[in-house]
A and B are shown apart, each in its own frame.
Chain A
Amino acid sequence: MSDGSGRRVRAIAAKEIVEFARDWRTIMAIIVIPLLMFPLLFILFPVLLESEAAELDALEVAVIVQSDDFPENLHENLSFAGVVTLIEPLPNLTTLSDPAGDLERVRNSSVDAVLRFESNNQTWSYAILHLSTSERSNEARYRLLATLSEWEDSEVRQRISDGGLDVNETLDPLRWNGDIAQGDVATTGEQAGMVLSLFIPLVLAIWTYSSAIQPSIDMTAGERERGTLEALLCLPCTRLELLMGKWVAVATITGIGVVLQICGLLFAIGYLASSSFIGLPKLSLVSVGLIVLSILLFAVMVVAFELALAMRSHSVKEAGSILAPALMLILFPALFTQVINLDGIEGFWFAIPVVNILLALRELLMNRVITEHVLIWVMSSLLYASLAAYYASKQFSREDIVTSLS
């Protein structure tokens, strides 16, 4: 590239970034939202859930217990669990789960649940009637089940003990010896890489595509619609320089968005979990270099593809209606890639568009550099990136891009 060409590409990119940054809505969409999205989701959302759970814990639920022989200690346990009980005789039923005459009072919430409990010599039968669409009723059912399970456990222990057996030996005859974590020979760095490899490629793929939509449209179909493209096409720059300038601008904006989102994600996980859960993956220099290369190739392909589609469109509206559903082309392969087993994976997976880069990222985040895989994804990604760039250059070379709907 000559000096003049480089200067023009820089001028185009700088103008696009400055113009884009002057719109506060854009800054919100590209910078603030990605930075805050995961911390809000992972920190604020659990806080809200906790407060809701605390509210439920403080709740007293009303339960009708239908039994002719209800154990006193179970009655006490229910009382400790915040269950207010009213004992009624057990009606004559074929099965305990038949709602029969209790259907209406559970449905109209005059009672939160009905527990039916029947003694059969050495065993008991029970059933719970509840309304699954009511939060109170679900809570009542949850407390009944927990209390019954605890009571059953205590009954089992008592019976083992009464039979003259050791309770622990009988219930737990097979035991782990030593520290469970010590048995995993993977290093903490490798474990961190494994955890990160499950969501970083996904976030990267989806956010790269989605955050490039708005700038791609604004810089192509937007220019076309506003009538600014004609003046630009009269300037002494080639269409390729125009494409490159706009590509650099979109890639810069998208890159900032993606980096911020990943920072927000790591911060949120680091805040929630202990440092041993999510540490820094231990990566070799080769892995780091290949990660950068894979992201670059992916960005070239995605941004060029989006610029091309947006440039084909006559208006912002048309571009939006094409680019938004095209996200599926990234989303489905990205989700699918998460469930592919990397152990003994066949080479052809690394030649499939989108899938190849995401698999490569997963491998590299686990510090696995497999030459055959690297060669396949580098070559195939170069091919796809070149095809996308060629397609974009064809769109930018069209004469009709000078015309606008307005």
Chain B
Amino acid sequence: MAETLLSLRGVTKKFTEVEALTEIDLDIHSGEIVGLVGSNGAGKTTLLRLMAGVYSPTTGSVLLSSGRPVQEMRQELGVVPESTGLYSRLTAWENIRYHSRMHGVSDAVAWARTEKFAEHLDMSENLRRHTKGFSRGMKQKTALLRALAHGPNILLLDEPTAGLDITSARTVRALVRQLRNEGGTVIYSTHHLAEAQQVCDRIVIIHNGELRADGSPTELLEGTGTETLEDAYVSLTLDQARPRHEDNDKEGVLSSWWRRLFTPRTPKATMGESTDE
């Protein structure tokens, strides 16, 4: 049995009005690629942020193998958020170096690791360039290099292939598989089932903040009695998906009132009513 690197127990995350995640129990084992699959607003990003220590659970715990909360041991994690989070006035290498310095890794070590992975991602020539003119794919690859430069035990990727062209997406997926083959652990958020099936050893389906299924693709098919993962997903998420909410970012009373004051009412038309004058 592989070592449990990250353990979530009874994790609930509530924002002001919404319960984003409900009673999540999940173990992440060493050397596996875990796919977090769910629709927009399902709670994938919230779950990733809890694993990254950006959010604290309202109830429950997110602990590393050492038994310590993830906030205290962030150097064990490498995170690629959906927005990539690169500074456009810094070069790719400066972006990477900034994060590796924050992790307490020397520039020499970070550079050696970066060079190694940059070759796989075909990014060696771009490390000295400012990221301002980078394509979405190049930004994603730079963010990936940045997350790997300090040698994390767990890599958290939030929709790493979103918006990438086919070639870039293939390169990213190939690197993720290579990392797994070298013993790395990757948590991979996506809303593409086919991608999850292609890349992940284990798929966790999140829907409306609840963990609906957790297992290998074969286990999911067996568990739901379906023939394709898509059918399995549909059978597990029959209830209507809730609308996406933006965390606990609540608008003030005055702001809300003022915005509504200058928002024209949507015209109401009844069935059969002609719109012609």
Contacts and interface: CB of A to CB of B under 8 A. Distances in A.
A19 B90 CA distance: 7
Contacts of A12: 102
Nearest to A19: B89
Contacts of B90: 15, 18-19
A230 B85 contact: yes
Contacts of B87: 15, 19, 228
B83 interface: yes
A233 B85 CA distance: 11
A403 B54 contact: no
Contact of B98 (A15, A227, A236, A403): A15
B3 interface: no
B56 A399 contact: yes
Contacts of B103: 235-236
B191 interface: no
A15 B101 CA distance: 11
B37 interface: no
A231 B140 CA distance: 13
Given A236-B103, A400-B248, A403-B249, A230 B75 contact: no
Contacts of A237: 102
A112 B146 CA distance: 76
A231 B79 contact: yes
Nearest to B90: A19
B74 interface: yes
Interface in A363-406: 399-400, 402-404, 406
Interface in A228-245: 228-237
B99 interface: yes
Contact of A402 (B54, B80, B146): B54
Contacts of A52: none
B249 A227 contact: no
Contact of A400 (B75, B88, B89, B247): B247
Interface in B64-90: 73-75, 77, 79-90
A175 interface: no
Interface stretch (A3-11, A270-278, A354-362): A3-11
A402 B74 contact: no
B76 to A, nearest CB: 9
Given A11-B102, A19-B90, A399-B55, A234 B74 contact: yes
A314 interface: yes
A205 to B, nearest CB: 30
Interface in B147-162: 156
Contacts of B88: 226
B102 A235 contact: yes
B248 A399 contact: yes
User: Helix, strand, loop or mixed for chain A's interface?
Assistant: helix
Interface in B119-155: 143, 146
A199 B149 CA distance: 52
Nearest to B81: A230
Contacts of A4: 104
Interface residues of B, number: 36
A231 B81 contact: yes
A227 B156 CA distance: 17
A236 B85 CA distance: 16
B52 interface: yes
Nearest to A23: B89
Contacts of B246: 403
B75 A232 contact: no
Given A236-B74, A314-B249, A404 B98 contact: no
Contacts of A18: 90, 94
Contacts of A19: 87, 89-90
Contacts of B249: 314, 400, 403
Contact of A230 (B54, B56, B101): B54
Given A4-B104, A7-B101, A15-B98, A231 B84 contact: yes
A64 B233 CA distance: 99
B83 A403 contact: no
B53 interface: yes
Nearest to A241: B102
A404 B82 CA distance: 12
A11 B105 CA distance: 12
Given A402-B54, A402-B247, A403-B249, A228 B86 contact: yes
B49 interface: yes
A316 to B, nearest CB: 14
Interface string B233-263: 0000000000000111100000000000000
A381 B55 CA distance: 34
A8 to B, nearest CB: 6
A234 B98 contact: no
A192 to B, nearest CB: 42
Contacts of A23: 89
A181 B207 CA distance: 86
Contacts of B73: 236
A73 to B, nearest CB: 73
Contacts of B156: 234
A4 B75 CA distance: 12
B153 to A, nearest CB: 13
Nearest to B156: A234
- Give 3 nearest A-B pairs by CB, closest first: A227-B83, A231-B85, A236-B74
25 contacts: A8-B102, A11-B98, A11-B101, A11-B102, A12-B102, A15-B87, A19-B87, A19-B89, A227-B81, A230-B54, A230-B83, A231-B79, A231-B83, A231-B85, A231-B86, A233-B52, A234-B79, A235-B99, A236-B73, A236-B74, A236-B104, A399-B54, A400-B248, A402-B247, A403-B249
Given A15-B94, A19-B87, A232-B85, 4 more contacts: A12-B102, A228-B86, A231-B86, A400-B247
